[in-house]
Structure 1
Amino acid sequence: MENENLNQIWKSQERELTLDHPKQIIKKAKTQRRGQIISTVVMATTVIVLVCFTIYTWTNQWNDFSLGLTLMISSLFLRILLEMFTLFRKEIQLVALDSKAYQHYLKKHYESRLIINYIITPICFGIYIYGFIKLLPFFKAEFSNGFYTYILISGIVSLVVIFYIIIKSILKEYYLLQELKQKK
């Protein structure tokens, strides 16, 4: 990633932004990539746990419990596919394009990520919450009041933490897009 073309591009641009050295943009890109990979791994782990739970509690009848699990799994799976697609597509373009074209591509990439961040992610998050809500009556019927309360509180806390992480990630991408737009 660090080559003479990239160095020349960044040295030739104005220094009004914080991303004025190739090492800074590389560090920022690596941090963002690491964040995307971590979030994908967390979502994939959650999907695996939900699939295992689905297999463990498998019944031959379709009900709200099955619907809830299906909604939770499918919303996370869709989000994982989108993350992997955008991550790998961006890396393929890095190899295929010269530095100037790649910078232009990054602007388009983060503009398209706005659609994912502001439309698809909230829909997936809402579907996940709806699926969780569908499970609650079954948990209340099957578990003790104490354990049900634990599931309810830990579920809500987890959703709030996930919401915070999503918002923080969206803001990072938004600010990076703004910095790229200012570079012209």
Structure 2
Amino acid sequence: MKNDNLSQIWKSQDSDLSLDKPDFIIKKAKKQRNGQFITIAVLSVTLIILISFTITYANSNWNNFTLGLLLMISSLAFRVIIEFISMYRKESRLIALDNLAYQKYLKTYYRMRLRANYIITPLCFGVYIFGFTLLLPYFKKEFSVGFYNYILISGIVSLVIVALIIINSIAKEHRFLRQLKGK
């Protein structure tokens, strides 16, 4: 990615794995990296909106409204941190390792990501949903019926879309890991 000679170095090595083409691995790495940037951007924008909302509307009294916002913010912040760490570790390995060692590293990396996707992601998603449900009684009390219904419906639709995106992302990582293993 950052090293123009990386492709030449990898092409000069012998490999008996099914993913022996450096261009394929580099293309996949770039695509996955771009996906991580998009994920980080979307999560960060949501995080900024929630923090701004909290600063503006949360009062100094501790209640379920404040707890709900805090749960939503903390789950998003934790997920952003995990994505940054994951992206940085993989990128630093890409430049440091040769083709065969990097392919071996990718297998370990995607196994670790799948574990994280089956444990950490559902946990963060569940905490976020729980935080959102804690806000609903306050929204119902403060807003008109129409606006409350809009918040409820758009919130549910957004959560379903996010869940589908997460499932799709996990499926893609599964497929890539199978390709790395050579099926």
Aligned pairs for 1:114-125 within 5 A: 114-125=114-125
- Match for residue 4 of structure 1 among 8, 13, 19: 8
> Is 2:41 aligned against 1:41?
yes
The TM-score, its normalising length taken from structure 1, stands at 0.91
d(CA) in 1 for partners of 2:32, 2:94: 15
CA contact (8 A) 2:93 2:102 kept: yes
Deviation sequence 1:133-161 (CA, Å, 0-9, x none): 00000000000000000000000000000
Shift of 1:98: 1.9
Taking a change above 3 Å as real, the CA distance of residues 102 and 25 of structure 1, as seen in their structure-2 partners, is closer
Shift of 1:64: 0.3
Which residue number corresponds to residue 161 of structure 2?
161
Shift of 1:40: 0.8
Shift of 1:102: 1.3
Shift of 1:25: 2.5
Structure 1 unaligned segments of length 5 or more: list them: none
- Counterpart residue identity of residue 139, structure 1: F
CA RMSD in angstroms comes to: 1.6
Which residue number corresponds to residue 23 of structure 1?
23
Shift of 1:66: 0.3
Secondary structure at the counterpart of residue 58 of structure 2: coil
Worse-superposed segment, 90-99 or 73-82? 90-99
The TM-score, its normalising length taken from structure 2, stands at 0.92
Shift of 1:93: 1.0
Aligned pairs for 1:56-135 within 5 A: 56-135=56-135
Worse-superposed segment, 28-37 or 149-158? 28-37
Higher relative contact order (CA 8 A, sep 6+): 2
User: Identity of paired residues, percent?
Assistant: 55
CA contact (8 A) 2:17 2:182 kept: no
Shift of 1:174: 1.1
Shift of 1:115: 1.5
> Is 2:172 aligned against 1:172?
yes
Secondary structure at the counterpart of residue 3 of structure 1: helix
